[in-house]
Amino acid sequence: MLSHRPPPARLAGAPQVFVSTGIEDAIARASQAAGDLDVALMGSGMISAALRAGLLDEITVHQVPILLGGGTPLFAALPAAVELDVARVVAAPGVTHLTFAVRR
């Protein structure tokens, strides 16, 4: 778990590792723990930080046909445009899964 706060005294559930030294260290620790498996990120701040650092290979957006009209923009914190290539589009009932490869 990447956090700017100290870990709580008591954690519930699965074991967690707290990283407070930045996105680069957090992704390095997650990659080491995952081995050959993928590492997934969630949350607009973490995803934007990883994009700024050039650490993402793919982005998957799950598009649901509901307009909310508010909330936190997912990619508002990017300093410049990030170029993407469409990798996969999967339509399912009530949702479309859009996966993009991050252009290097």
Question: 32-61 pLDDT, tens per residue?
Answer: 988 999 999 988 888 888 998 999 999 999
Its pTM stands at 0.75
Q: Do the domain assignments include residue 47?
A: no
pLDDT for res 50: 92
Dist. CA 81–CA 103, nearest whole Å: 11
Answer whether residue 60 is part of any domain.
Answer: yes
94 and 63, same domain (yes or no) = yes
Residue 16 has pLDDT above 60, yes or no: yes
Per-residue burial over 47-83, b if 16 or more Cβ lie within 10 Å, else e, is: bbbbbeeebbeebeeeeeeeeeeeeeeeeeeeeeebe
Determine, yes or no, domain membership for 27.
yes
Within 10 angstroms of residue 1's Cβ, the number of other Cβ atoms is: 12
Residue 75, domain extent? 55-102
Residue 63 lies in a domain: yes
Are the beta carbons of 43 and 59 closer than 8 angstroms?
Answer: no
Q: Which pair of structure tokens corresponds to residue 33? A: 């723990």
Cα-Cα end-to-end distance for the chain: 26
The pLDDT confidence band at residue 20, using thresholds 50, 70 and 90, is: confident
| Tokens found for residue 24 | 């680069």
* Number of domain units in the chain: 2
Closest to 30 (Cα-Cα) out of 15, 40, 20, 43: 40
Domain assignment of residue 44, yes or no: no
Q: What pLDDT sits at residue 88?
A: 97
Q: Flag whether 45 is in a domain.
A: no
Please indicate, yes or no, whether residues 10 and 35 belong to a single structural domain of this protein: yes
The span from the CA of 7 to the CA of 68, in Å, is: 33
Residue 29 forms part of a structural domain: yes
**Together in a domain, 70 and 97:** yes
Domain match, 35 and 70 both? no
**61 and 29 within one domain:** no
pLDDT of res. 10: 61
